[in-house]
Structure 1
Amino acid sequence: MLAEYALPIMLVILIATTVAGLPMGIAMIASSVLYLFISGRDVGLGAEMVLNGVFGNFVALAVPLFIFAANIMDAGKISDRLLTFCLALVGRSPGGMAQVNIVTSLIFSGMSGSAVSDAAGVGKVVTDMMIKDNRYPPGYAGALTAATAVVGPIFPPSIPMVYYALVSSASIGALFLAGVVPALIIVVLQMAAAFVVAKRRGFPVEEAIPFRQFPLILLRAFPALLMPVILLGGIYSGAFTPTEAAAVSAFYALVLAVFAYRALSFRGFAAVVYSTVKTTAVVTTVLCGAFIFNYVIAVERIPQMVFEFFSYYQFEQWMFLLLLNILFLLLGCLLDVSTIQLVIVPLFIPTALGLDIDLVHLGVVLVLNMMIGLITPPMGVLLFIIKALNGIKLSDMIRELWPHFLLLLTVLFLITYMPDLVLWLPRQAGAMQ
């Protein structure tokens, strides 16, 4: 009798345990196993889904490796050399430190693949530099850092792109390349906006670094700047797979931090390993829960039901994409990225395929959408990180954030309805047809 109500019971338990404060991954595991028990299916299927998903999927290994690489770069002072390079490069322009913030985020994103790592690592340092001696309003500095960190998972490599590849079977290599042009568009628009704001509000110009110092600054930063080149060059030359590229990036970051820059002690390395294991445990728990949960929604034919709904009402591509953007913007305000990627996204993949929407294009649109969610209240994870690390009031940041938010929405609209902006580079590189 209860078997007929297995799905509603599972959803009620999932919502109740999440609201009660249970971590999302554990809540998904508990509610999904309860579903298997009530529906009369073998409870051992839960363990089978986890084992096949986590240990049978080579792509999943990329996530902890990219996390490890990002943690090494934070601890190994690699970001400090990148910051000095960016200061020499764009610091002399109007609103110099704001421009440095933007460019540093782009370069650092080519190594970490994480918006949180960007904001908590190099973002913290440059924010402190901006608000020192009241040079910039704290709210503006914090809002800019949050908005620039959004570029991290758009520009390759990208941890959210890896999640998306897990649930959609889209090519990671194509996804990485597809994010390049949108990321550059965001950066150019952010730099233009920072220039206009600096002129209007009289923000300071940094003291020019003499040109004769450029070669030394470039030399010190050059090994770190090589990382994205090695990473992407290796992938698209066929030297290694995207997952192997994650291992290469972690190894290269370790070599730089320990031998080239001599900035990582044994104690520091132990702290990096501990932090990586801790973060990976959280991510893996969500992954395990998602694999069982996705099995349940597949058994219940929920993705097919979503497809039938859109087909019945004869939704066109532009209407589906518009509704998807609105939905994911709202979800991004409430849920973390990994949960959305692993649980919500699979519901819409069959519909996207049925409407002939390219999955690589869809992946970049959804990732940017979710990154905007990271700076959108009430969750606004990046805002809370900056508040905790830099002591800036949330209200001050939110007041300064809206121009950046509208700019990102503009880019989201452009890439949603102009797919060639996303797909041109991977096509030119032969990463997709």
Structure 2
Amino acid sequence: MSISLLSGLIILVLLVIMLLMGVPIAIALGISSVCAILPIMPFDAAVLTASQRIFSGISVFSLLAIPFFILAGNIMNRGGIAIRLINLAKIVTGHMPGALAQTNVIANMLFGAISGSGTAAASAMGSIIGPIEEEEGYSKEFSAAANIATAPTGLLIPPSNVMITYSLVAGGASVSALFMAGYIPGILWGLACMVVVYFLAKKFGYRSNVTYSGKEKLSMFLHAIPCLFLIVVVIGGIIFGVFTATEGSVVAVVYSLLLSIYGYKSMKWRDVPAILKESAQMTGIIIFLIGVSSIMSWVMAFTGIPQLVSDALLGITDNKYIILLLINVILLIVGTFMDMTPAVLIFTPIFLPVYLALGMDIIHFGIMIIFNLCIGTITPPVGTTLFVGVKVGGVTIEKVFKQLLLYFGAIFIVLMLVTYIPQLSLWLPTTMGIIK
């Protein structure tokens, strides 16, 4: 048996066993990766190599953007930004069928784009819009399904921490290009869900009876402008080279903090320590996960496991459309059992060589893998956004899942479009001159 096959089997078997035992994925990754080094070198050298890989894996300047974007998202979640975005979305949806649910969809896209968190969007929007929808006669299952299905759009519409993680593990893919590439797929996801909401709302007779005067609409729009300006400042600054993604994340923190405390006055300085603590805990989990995954990345590169997988897939067929479909199926299955960050860290080094061998673009692959794993966040058994949306909506997974199936169908169609039409991802970054 070759070294690459043996190391691959060790990682796979030990990882599966430990995950089934309930071992945290970061610990499982670290232990299985160290054990996979043992056929190559003695135990003491294996441990030393693993330690070095952890520190080198997290000693990357661009990773500083992750804790700051997490902090900015937590500040926004508590700073009254959500309700302003909901009011802005109400202006857009008007009296269309299921207007409140449509508002939820647009607000999720806007809030997710600002906070970069699907779970934060599901929690903030569901807790605010859900009770209003219930008062107007919407069923809890209908409201929760619309909220859950569209919350992950913020992971595609920048800023997005998972894009920064992908950039790192993919060998330095442009963060600016990834940010721009995520806009159209993320918007298409939201629009597809709006179509589903439209037909379901017509079927059940859900219509909004609330009207707003021109003066009220103007007021709602003006109050939302500072929130939208955050997107312009941060994303615009990154795209046009005013500052890096890391510097942009710091700008996002400062802006959202000042806006929440002095602009909307919905947060006070005494709330900051609790937000810092929560952000530090989330950051610690992600950064440690990136560190231990660096061990596995080194093992795979050293033993040639990605090349082995690439040869195996290309040995099945040389039809790139079939191979892309196989990769999508695998990622969709993986996403139901694994959180996004570890999945990106594990499967990017495995499938990227296959993808590049097909002559495809590294940015397009990043959007494709993130899109697949976003779907995993709203599917059981490990869908974090699903569980948050169900809890906030006050429904059971069994009841809401029946309606989610319709959304899954619409989202899967968009996934196929994103997979097989690369320009949906590449047009914006190409047009803006970020990639050629």
TM-score, normalised relative to structure 2 = 0.93
| Correspondence list, 1:170-181, <5 A | 170-181=173-184
| Correspondence list, 1:299-318, <5 A | 299-318=302-321
Q: Distance in 1 between matches of 2:88 and 2:122?
A: 18
Find 2:251's aligned residue among 243, 248, 253: 248
What amino acid maps onto 1:144 in structure 2? A
Contact 1:112 / 1:157 at 8 angstroms: preserved in 2?
yes
| Runs (5+) with no aligned partner, structure 1 | none
| Correspondence list, 1:197-208, <5 A | 197-208=200-211
Deviation at 1:37, TM superposition (A): 4.9
What amino acid maps onto 2:313 in structure 1? F
Deviation at 1:189, TM superposition (A): 2.6
User: Residues 396 and 311 (structure 1 numbering): CA distance in 2 closer, same or farther, change over 3 Å?
Assistant: closer
Query: Is residue 272 of structure 1 aligned with residue 275 of structure 2?
Result: yes
The answer for the alignment partner of 1:154 in structure 2 is 156
Find 2:284's aligned residue among 278, 281, 291: 281
The answer for the alignment partner of 1:25 in structure 2 is 26
Deviation at 1:207, TM superposition (A): 0.6
The answer for the alignment partner of 1:53 in structure 2 is 57
| Correspondence list, 1:128-207, <5 A | 128-132=131-135, 135-168=137-170, 169-207=172-210
Deviation at 1:145, TM superposition (A): 0.5
| Correspondence list, 1:81-120, <5 A | 81-120=84-123
Out of 199-208 and 421-430, give the one that drifted further.
Answer: 199-208
What amino acid maps onto 1:62 in structure 2? A
Q: Distance in 1 between matches of 2:5 and 2:266?
A: 60
User: Residues 190 and 311 (structure 1 numbering): CA distance in 2 closer, same or farther, change over 3 Å?
Assistant: closer
Deviation at 1:8, TM superposition (A): 4.1
Q: Secondary structure at the match of 2:379?
A: coil
Deviation at 1:259, TM superposition (A): 1.6
Contact 1:91 / 1:99 at 8 angstroms: preserved in 2?
no
What amino acid maps onto 2:361 in structure 1? D
Deviation at 1:19, TM superposition (A): 1.9
Alignment RMSD:
2.0
Contact 2:108 / 2:150 at 8 angstroms: preserved in 1?
yes
Deviation at 1:63, TM superposition (A): 1.6
Contact 2:192 / 2:414 at 8 angstroms: preserved in 1?
no
Q: Distance in 1 between matches of 2:4 and 2:249?
A: 44
Q: Distance in 2 between matches of 1:157 and 1:189?
A: 21
Q: Distance in 1 between matches of 2:326 and 2:5?
A: 31
| Runs (5+) with no aligned partner, structure 2 | none
Contact 1:142 / 1:383 at 8 angstroms: preserved in 2?
no
The answer for the alignment partner of 1:69 in structure 2 is 72
Deviation at 1:36, TM superposition (A): 3.7
1:168-199 CA deviation, whole Å, 9 max, x = no partner?
A: 13211111111111222222232233222222
The answer for the alignment partner of 1:234 in structure 2 is 237
Find 1:430's aligned residue among 426, 430, 433: 433
Query: Is residue 380 of structure 1 aligned with residue 383 of structure 2?
Result: yes
What amino acid maps onto 1:160 in structure 2? V
Q: Distance in 2 between matches of 1:52 and 1:351?
A: 26
Q: Secondary structure at the match of 1:376?
A: coil
The answer for the alignment partner of 1:371 in structure 2 is 374
Find 2:408's aligned residue among 387, 405, 408: 405
User: Residues 11 and 422 (structure 1 numbering): CA distance in 2 closer, same or farther, change over 3 Å?
Assistant: closer
Q: Distance in 2 between matches of 1:132 and 1:297?
A: 55
Q: Secondary structure at the match of 2:153?
A: coil
Deviation at 1:418, TM superposition (A): 1.2
Q: Secondary structure at the match of 1:247?
A: helix
Contact 2:72 / 2:252 at 8 angstroms: preserved in 1?
yes
Q: Distance in 1 between matches of 2:293 and 2:263?
A: 40
Q: Distance in 2 between matches of 1:82 and 1:407?
A: 25
What amino acid maps onto 1:212 in structure 2? K
User: Residues 294 and 301 (structure 1 numbering): CA distance in 2 closer, same or farther, change over 3 Å?
Assistant: same
Give me the identity figure in percent: 31
Contact 1:383 / 1:397 at 8 angstroms: preserved in 2?
no
Q: Distance in 2 between matches of 1:4 and 1:147?
A: 39
The answer for the alignment partner of 1:357 in structure 2 is 360
Contact 1:6 / 1:35 at 8 angstroms: preserved in 2?
yes
1:228-262 CA deviation, whole Å, 9 max, x = no partner?
A: 11112101221011222122112211111122112
Query: Is residue 13 of structure 1 aligned with residue 17 of structure 2?
Result: no
| Correspondence list, 1:216-235, <5 A | 216-235=219-238
User: Residues 206 and 284 (structure 1 numbering): CA distance in 2 closer, same or farther, change over 3 Å?
Assistant: farther
Q: Distance in 1 between matches of 2:83 and 2:4?
A: 58
The answer for the alignment partner of 1:44 in structure 2 is 48
1:12-51 CA deviation, whole Å, 9 max, x = no partner?
A: 4333322222210112122323444564254211121111
The answer for the alignment partner of 1:209 in structure 2 is 212
Q: Secondary structure at the match of 1:207?
A: coil
Out of 2-11 and 214-223, give the one that drifted further.
Answer: 2-11
